[in-house]
Amino acid sequence: MAKIKALIVDDSKIMRSAVKRALNQLMIADFEYVEAMNGEDALDQFDNTIEIIFLDWNMPKMTGVEFSKAIREKGDTSHIPIIMVTAEKSMGKVDIALNEGGANEYITKPFTADKMHKTIKRYFDEEGQLVTQKETEEKKSFFSNILKS
Amino acid sequence: MVEKTLDSRTIPNEIIEVVIQSVINTFESILGEPPGYDEDSGPDGPLNGVIGNIAVFNPDSTLSLMLAMPRETALGLSEAFIGFEIPFESNDMGDLIGEVSNILAGEVAANIEKIGFRGQSSLPTATRGSDLTLFMPNKPPSKKLKFQGPHGNFWLNMALSESK
């Protein structure tokens, strides 16, 4: 099973560990983790090998939503699922994260492995591959074949 | 609904009730059972434990929340939250109580919005030690709330002040 490179962004080490523990329990994919303590740190760590992002909101230096906006503005990142994992619960905040921030999903803290599973399972196929990534690769391959022919 | 201009001498009962319910919801989601609220908050005295500080604020008002956990309660909470007990003296204990304060503030902010106080959470901080005493130099209206959880008692001190 190919490893999925996940970026975990949270200023709390305890919460980064909790996210990793939940993902390991799910056994829906084999993850490799990159950790960041805030949005600014996450921007430094981000590169085109990152395949999924788990993102807190309330962090020093750069918030999760600011980071999410910055990532989406980079372009060619729409295939990367951004999962907000945050204590912010009001509907206004959910709306901002999903519509203005460009996040795909929203999980409130504290969360269980089951809640995490329900939220992210649609992004993975039975082989533990990211569906979005697979679709992107298939599209690239399709267009590449057309260009060749 | 809460008056837009808050009375500077008291914390409105609606806010107190929302905060009590928010504490119950937050700890139930962490511990699996709701903590009991004790109307008698008990005598003031120094704390051997850890205090998480956070605020829900808007340009007009700041609601400060101070979550005071005795050592034994904090140790039990760590086991419930992350699956194992973490050393009281470790940095992780401050991280844990800060995160629990953050989750509580998120719940308070969501619930308090329903009664007309729209605010956002600050970043949490935590203080650990023995002989800790909470005091507020400017004497804003405040309230001390006592709760009983499966791992022991804990307190939430709240204060409402004008934002500066």
List the domains of chain A with CATH numbers: 3-148 (3.40.50.2300)
Rounded mean pLDDT of A47-64? 96
Rounded mean pLDDT of B62-85? 93
pLDDT of B42 > 60? The answer is: yes
Residue A113 at interface with chain B, using a CB cutoff of 8 Å: no
Tokens 């902010």 sit on residue: B109
Strands, E, within chain A: which ranges?
Answer: 3-9, 30-36, 52-55, 82-86, 105-108
Instruction: Report how far apart, in Å, the C-alpha atoms of A147 and of each of A137, A141, B114, B143 are.
Output: 15, 10, 56, 71
pLDDT of B64 reads 95
Alpha carbon of B44: minimum distance to chain A alpha carbons (Å): 30
pLDDT of A42 > 90? The answer is: yes
Tell me the residue length of chain B. Answer: 164
pLDDT of A84 reads 97
pLDDT of B62 reads 94
CA distance A106 to A35: 19
A107 has which bridge partners? A85
Mutating which of B91, B102, B122 best tests the A interface, going by the most A Cβ atoms within 10 A?
Answer: B102
Do B106 and A17 make contact, defined as CB atoms within 8 angstroms? no
Alpha carbon of A88: minimum distance to chain B alpha carbons (Å): 5
Instruction: Report how far apart, in Å, the C-alpha atoms of B133 and of each of A69, B48, B72, B99, B128 are.
Output: 42, 9, 18, 21, 11
Residue A110 at interface with chain B, using a CB cutoff of 8 Å: yes
B103: which chain A residues are within 8 Å (Cβ-Cβ)?
87, 109-110
Range with lowest mean pLDDT among A9-13, A106-110, A129-133, B16-20: A129-133
In SS3 terms, chain B reads as: CCCCCCCCCCCCHHHHHHHHHHHHHHHHHHHCCCCEEECCCCCCCCEEEEEEEEEEECCCEEEEEEEEEEHHHHHHHHHHHHCCCCCCCCHHHHHHHHHHHHHHHHHHHHHHHCCCCCCEECCCEEEEEEEECCCCCCCCCEEEEEEEECCEEEEEEEEEEECC
B13-132: CATH topology:
Chemotaxis protein chec (3.40.1550)
Residue of B96, B102, B123 lying closest to A60 (CB–CB)? B123
Tell me the residue length of chain A. Answer: 149
Residue A20 at interface with chain B, using a CB cutoff of 8 Å: no
Closest CA to A121 of A1, A7, A27: A27
Do A87 and B102 make contact, defined as CB atoms within 8 angstroms? yes
A110: which chain B residues are within 8 Å (Cβ-Cβ)?
29-30, 81, 103
pLDDT of B85 reads 87
B38 has which bridge partners? B146
Q: Is omega for the bond preceding B59 within 30 degrees of 0, making it cis? A: no
CA distance B151 to A149: 69
Rounded mean pLDDT of B146-164? 93
Tokens 């962090």 sit on residue: A59
CA distance B23 to B81: 15
Residue bearing the bigger pLDDT, A1 or A128? A128
